[in-house]
Amino acid sequence: MLLPDKIILARLLFHYRAQERSVLANPHEPNLRGRFEDTAYTLCVLMGERTAREAAVAAERYLREPGHHTVQTGPGAQPLGLGSE
């Protein structure tokens, strides 16, 4: 099975969690919900899961595994962006 790049996955998961918080704070905002659903779909595809919740859990588990990419966390860490959003 092909596994996603950990840096790209960490960026996607960061966006998923941020968008999740935004949608929970503004549940009737269609633009926020649309972006969140697109991000959730991409996360599902990358992780091979059927639901966004399962995909997020699988991504978090996969990111904890030792690998060749390191994702910075903690007080001095910079958020990883997906591009020019």
Integer angstrom CA distances of residue 84 from 18, 69, 80, 81:
16, 22, 12, 8
Whether 81 shows a pLDDT value over 80: the answer reads no
The C-alpha R_g of the chain, in whole angstroms, comes to 13
Whether 1 shows a pLDDT value over 70: the answer reads no
Integer angstrom CA distances of residue 35 from 17, 20, 30, 82:
12, 10, 9, 13
* Confidence label for 7 from pLDDT (cuts 50, 70 and 90): very high
Query: What's the rounded Cα separation, in Å, for the pair 67 and 30?
Result: 38
pLDDT tens across 70-80, in order?
A: 444 445 544 44
* Confidence label for 66 from pLDDT (cuts 50, 70 and 90): confident
Predicted confidence at residue 75, as pLDDT, reads: 52
Q: Specify the pTM.
A: 0.74
